[in-house]
């Protein structure tokens, strides 16, 4: 029986790379896609030229503007155009493996177990994925291949940009051991210092602690999670689109955020991505969820069931923001925030109305909503996302 092989494909600086591809005059210059300088909001992504100045996704735009030189280009996201490129990429990847799980607009997992007999060794499969993407959309991607999702994801990060890293099952320990603690998902602002005070600096150091010791220092949940990751233990299941339980988007901030407008703008941006993917896949969701993480890996999830299914950006955003506002969280520093939608209805449910786009938190029927989004998407595809966008009403309190 052939061993499990999972491939993770991650487009390099996706939004920024599309802009540089379509505008050759932007090549080689720092470029930020996200909020406009002088306004509230965050960086959606940035070019590698901008990253040299320490700028990264989810950084407040004010901080990015302070760090970057005057020649920097600032652009608003064109979600519709990026979504079309994403669809082209995912279609191309389906020619390599029948099991492709799109986890966001710019990354996907592929189950390539047993594909060696059809394509060749794992390195050849990875190179084919990179070549197919470049031939299809003219962009570069970093590819990681490993025995499970965790190792594949870490491998794709290992040699960005335009990298290809293969980690076989018997190489997992050697791959993980020299890497810094920061590669382990789930280390918070309190848990990381605890491990550092214990003299731990690399994954190899963590591997020397027993599960019991990690639980004593970090708590049962976090200790177990870190122990499993340090030993390369993770799921090797890839879900095809038909099995997708939900669509979500979350952001980890470089610095903890207390500004309510930054949090609000971040959720609005996440809702645009989630809503767009749902509409393109013909999905309507009945459950909106909110995920938030504070200091010390304190993580909370909240969800609500909607009276009618939706794939509307604004409705997803409004419900998630209402979940946030319903809790006593205002003023607490936020490390991570995100939202998702699931509880799918069949596409026949599109006949069911989804609510008024323009009234805060109403859920009454509005048969025009689907046509509004169809029209907006059509206009955006022809003239660009900036030509017409649905905004969010600013709070006056």
Active site amino acids: 107
CB of 84 within 8 A of CB of 278?
no
- At 376 the three-state DSSP class reads helix
Residue with tokens 């506002």, as numbered in its chain: 325
Contact residues for 294 (Cβ-Cβ < 8 A; gap 6+): 256, 300, 332, 333, 334, 335
Beta strands in the chain (DSSP E): 6-11, 31-34, 43-46, 73-75, 100-104, 107-111, 141-146, 164-166, 246-257, 284-293, 299-310, 334-345
Q: Which of helix, strand or coil describes residue 293?
A: strand
Phi/psi of residue 10, nearest 5 degrees: -130, 115
20 touches 140 (CB < 8 A): no
Handedness of CA 251, 257, 263, 266 (dihedral sign): negative
The span from the CA of 34 to the CA of 15, in Å, is 10
Angle at 340 between CA 41 and CA 390, to 5 degrees: 50
Helix (H, G, I), strand (E, B) or coil at 187: coil
Q: Is residue 65 within 8 Å of residue 42, measured between CB atoms?
A: no
Sequence-separated (6 or more) residues with CB below 8 Å from residue 353: 308, 364, 365, 366, 367, 369
Contact of 249 with 338, CB cutoff 8 Å: yes
Q: Rounded to an integer, what is the distance from CA 334 to the centroid of its chain?
A: 17
Phi-psi region of 156 (alpha: psi -120 to 50; beta: other; left: phi over 0): alpha
Full DSSP string of 317-329: HHHHHHHHHTSS-
Report whether the peptide linkage leading into residue 161 is cis, meaning its omega lies within 30 degrees of zero: yes
């Amino acid at each position: 029986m052939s061993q499990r092989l999972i491939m993770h494909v991650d487009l390099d600086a996706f939004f920024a790379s599309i802009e540089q591809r379509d505008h050759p005059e932007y090549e080689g210059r720092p470029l930020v896609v996200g909020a406009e300088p002088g306004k509230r909001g965050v960086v959606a992504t940035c070019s590698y030229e901008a990253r040299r100045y320490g700028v990264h996704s989810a950084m407040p735009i004010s901080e990015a503007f302070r760090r970057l030189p005057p020649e920097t280009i600032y652009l608003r996201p064109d979600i519709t155009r990026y979504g079309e490129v994403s669809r082209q990429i995912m279609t191309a990847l389906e020619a390599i493996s029948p099991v492709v799980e799109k986890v966001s607009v710019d990354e996907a997992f592929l189950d390539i177990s047993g594909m060696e007999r059809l394509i060749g060794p794992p390195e050849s499969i990875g190179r084919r994925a990179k070549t197919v993407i470049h031939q299809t959309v003219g962009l570069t991607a970093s590819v990681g291949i490993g025995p499970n999702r965790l190792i594949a994801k870490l491998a794709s990060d290992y040699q960005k940009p335009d990298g290809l890293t293969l980690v076989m099952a018997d190489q997992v320990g050697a791959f993980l051991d020299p890497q810094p603690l920061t590669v382990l998902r789930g280390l918070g602002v309190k848990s990381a210092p605890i491990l550092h005070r214990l003299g731990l600096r690399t994954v190899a150091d963590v591997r020397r602690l027993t599960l019991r010791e990690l639980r004593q220092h970090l708590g049962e949940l976090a200790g177990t999670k870190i122990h499993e990751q340090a030993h390369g233990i993770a799921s090797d299941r890839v879900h095809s689109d038909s099995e997708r339980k939900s669509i979500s988007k979350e952001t980890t901030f470089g610095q903890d955020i207390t500004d309510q407008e930054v949090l609000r703008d971040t959720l609005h941006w996440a809702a645009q991505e989630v809503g767009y993917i749902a509409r393109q896949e013909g999905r309507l969701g009945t459950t909106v969820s909110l995920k938030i993480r504070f200091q010390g890996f304190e993580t909370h999830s909240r969800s609500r069931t909607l009276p009618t299914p939706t794939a509307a950006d604004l409705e997803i955003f409004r419900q998630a923001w209402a979940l946030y506002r319903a809790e006593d969280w205002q003023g607490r520093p936020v490390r991570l925030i995100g939202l998702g939608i699931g509880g799918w209805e069949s596409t026949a449910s599109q006949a069911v109305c989804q609510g008024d786009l323009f009234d805060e938190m109403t859920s009454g029927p509005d048969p025009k909503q689907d046509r509004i989004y169809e029209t907006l998407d059509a206009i955006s595809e022809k003239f660009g996302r900036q030509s017409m966008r649905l905004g969010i009403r600013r709070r006056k309190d």
